[in-house]
Amino acid sequence: DAKTTQPPSMDCAEGRAANLPCNHSTISGNEYVYWYRQIHSQGPQYIIHGLKNNETNEMASLIITEDRKSSTLILPHATLRDTAVYYCIVRVTQGAQKLVFGQGTRLTINP
């Protein structure tokens, strides 16, 4: 699976949009971009995934650049409960199904 690079930490004001970047410059054509988050001491929670088109669900939006070398997770109206470690994972669709977690971005939402 391709390697991802994320900033170790970010801050965002409550009510504002939180934009979390992820670099995956070595991504290959059959690899999807997944986002998970881990709120303190809890099990990771799936957020969203995509291949090349932008995706949106009730939790977030995922913007993937045209060359697919980077992506941005957007939490449109961050709340204090969105404080968590966010993981960007590039995952091949065939073969091993394991998730390879990096260090992620520790997002802190400030009141």
Chain positions contacting other proteins, by CB under 8 A: 32, 34, 38, 41-46, 49, 91-104
Instruction: Output the CA torsion 25→39→49→4 (10° steps).
Output: 10
Residue closer to other proteins, measured from CB, 17 or 51: 51
> What is the nearest approach in angstroms of other proteins to the Cβ of residue 8?
12
Burial zone of 72 (CB within 10 Å; 0-12 exposed, 13-18 middle, 19+ buried):
middle
Residue closer to other proteins, measured from CB, 1 or 14: 1
- 27, 63, 72 from 66: Cα distances, Å: 12, 9, 12
Residue closer to other proteins, measured from CB, 26 or 45: 45
> What is the nearest approach in angstroms of other proteins to the Cβ of residue 21?
18
Pairing of strands 18-23, 70-75: antiparallel
> What is the nearest approach in angstroms of other proteins to the Cβ of residue 16?
27
> What is the nearest approach in angstroms of other proteins to the Cβ of residue 67?
22
